[in-house]
């Protein structure tokens, strides 16, 4: 928990620091990159505005509010995989790969890691790359999950069949376990599994509403920081929990076969 929070604070401060490796980089929206062999594939997201939340959804999703993100960032194309975690473990910066619940490792999303474990991985990526890696904020996550759409899921208001890995969602994994990342279609911005597969931890402290929430894309840090926010739903839960707007929480010391994460890389403005 402390490590993850430390990297969020470092991310805020980093805008005041010049990193030579970043100063030479030019980014285009949709550009993909990976900072090392074994590092996650990242995709550049451009600035923009969107309506976050849903006034017709659960109380936790209200009030819907306009958020403007005036900076570019890069988000992981996929949830972090066992292979990517193993690259960190081999350099003794992360704990050994946790239990895969018998589903498989490789390209399956990493599971059974705590919030503190994630902090170790973020530190390793940041030190290895020379840029700041962190968890996305709720706003950054939902912005990328919606990918310019306003429907319940990026593909529409009905879950349909075989669009995502969630209970009764029509895939061979639904209700049984996680799927290898990228097993379903990407959203319009090229991100996979933003709906279902595994819950994804984000940087925000839990607050049961959006009253007074930041509107600039930053993480909300005035809530219950012992229970960080999770987004996206999972293979175990019903489709309504995989909607773009749905949000919930988990205790920071929880490790589960339902929870994973994806990373954000800050880019030089």
| Domain residue ranges in the chain | 2-266
d(CA 110, CA 128): 20
**CA nearest 198: which of 109, 138, 263, 264?**
109
Q: How far is CA 115 from CA 17, 72, 107, 171, 255, in A?
A: 26, 25, 21, 29, 8
d(CA 243, CA 146): 9
- In the chain, DSSP assigns E strands to 32-33, 42-45, 48-52, 65-69, 73-76, 133-134, 199-206, 224-231, 247-249, 259-260, 264-266
Per-residue confidence (pLDDT) for residue 92, from 0 to 100: 97
d(CA 113, CA 81): 12
d(CA 3, CA 186): 31
User: CB of 88 within 8 A of CB of 128?
Assistant: no
Per-residue confidence (pLDDT) for residue 179, from 0 to 100: 98
**What are the b/e assignments for 150-161, b being 16+ CB within 10 Å?**
eebbbbeeebee
d(CA 38, CA 115): 21
Per-residue confidence (pLDDT) for residue 95, from 0 to 100: 96
Which one is the CATH code of 2-266: 1.10.1040.10, 3.90.1010.10, 3.20.20.60, 3.90.1580.10?
3.90.1580.10
d(CA 69, CA 46): 8
User: CB of 44 within 8 A of CB of 74?
Assistant: yes
pTM equals: 0.91
User: CB of 110 within 8 A of CB of 98?
Assistant: yes
Per-residue confidence (pLDDT) for residue 8, from 0 to 100: 47
Per-residue confidence (pLDDT) for residue 1, from 0 to 100: 52
Per-residue pLDDT of the chain (269 residues; tens, 9 = 90+): 545 555 544 444 343 323 333 344 789 999 999 999 999 999 999 999 999 999 999 999 999 999 999 999 999 999 999 999 999 999 999 999 999 999 999 999 999 999 999 999 999 999 999 999 999 999 999 999 999 999 999 999 999 999 999 999 999 999 999 999 999 999 999 999 999 999 999 999 999 999 999 999 999 999 999 999 999 999 999 999 999 999 999 999 999 999 999 999 999 74
**Residue 49: what are its φ and ψ, rounded to 5°?**
-125, 150
């Amino acid at each position: 928990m402390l490590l993850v929070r430390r990297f969020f604070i470092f991310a805020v401060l980093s805008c005041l620091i010049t990193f030579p490796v970043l100063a030479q980089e030019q980014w285009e929206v949709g550009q993909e990159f990976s900072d090392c062999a074994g590092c996650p594939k990242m995709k550049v997201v451009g600035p923009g505005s969107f309506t976050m939340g849903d006034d017709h959804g659960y109380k936790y999703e209200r009030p819907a509010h306009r958020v403007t993100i005036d900076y570019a960032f890069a988000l992981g194309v996929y949830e972090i995989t066992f292979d990517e975690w193993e690259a960190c473990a081999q350099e003794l910066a992360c704990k050994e790969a946790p239990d895969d619940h018998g589903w498989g490792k490789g390209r399956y999303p990493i599971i059974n890691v705590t919030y503190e474990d994630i902090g170790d991985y973020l530190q390793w990526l940041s030190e290895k790359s020379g840029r700041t890696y962190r968890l996305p904020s709720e706003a950054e996550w939902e912005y990328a999950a919606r990918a310019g759409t306003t429907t319940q899921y990026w593909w529409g208001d009905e879950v349909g069949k075989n669009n995502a890995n969630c209970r009764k969602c029509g895939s061979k994994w639904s209700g049984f376990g996680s799927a290898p990342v990228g097993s379903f279609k990407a959203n319009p911005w090229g991100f996979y599994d933003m709906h279902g597969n595994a819950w994804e931890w984000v940087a925000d402290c839990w607050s049961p509403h959006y009253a007074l929430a930041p509107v600039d894309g930053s993480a909300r840090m005035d809530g219950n920081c012992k229970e960080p926010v999770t987004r996206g739903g999972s293979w175990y839960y019903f489709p309504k929990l995989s909607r773009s707007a749905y949000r919930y929480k988990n205790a920071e010391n929880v490790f589960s076969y339902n929870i994973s994460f994806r990373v954000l890389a800050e880019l030089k403005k």
